[in-house]
Amino acid sequence: MIVRILNEGQWTLDESAFAALNAHDEEIETAVDSGDETELTRALTGLLAEVRRVGTPVPDDSLADSDLILPDAEATLHEVREWLADNTSGEGLIPG
């Protein structure tokens, strides 16, 4: 699966990586629900760091559609709240 981090790039991840990503996703949802901007930034930074750690960067000269797009680490509480509202599956930022 190809995951894009906005304003940064793409990574290829195995499906097995998503269990660890979901733990960060739950932290993001909790921070959004409580309105805690500091906690959101911490959780979002952790999620993106995990994508970079377990993923393989897609070369910049490669044209590949992203299966999943994540906000960058500077995303605000309002932006992530809208992002989650647009996800009709109700699964947060990470599916599954």
- Pairing state between β 56-57 and 2-5: unpaired
pTM recorded for the entire structure: 0.88
Q: Confirm whether 94 is domain-assigned.
A: no
* Number of separate domains in the chain: 1
Specify the DSSP element, H or E, that contains 70: strand 68-70
Q: Confirm whether 80 is domain-assigned.
A: yes
Q: Give, for all 96 residues of the chain, the pLDDT tens digit.
A: 999 999 999 999 998 888 889 889 999 999 999 999 999 999 999 999 999 999 999 998 888 898 889 999 999 999 999 888 887 656 678 766
Q: Do 87 and 93 meet the contact criterion of CB atoms below 8 Å apart?
A: yes
How many residues are recorded in the chain?
A: 96
Q: Confirm whether 93 is domain-assigned.
A: no
Give residue 50's domain range. 2-86
Q: Confirm whether 92 is domain-assigned.
A: no
Distance between CA atoms of residues 36 and 26, nearest Å: 14
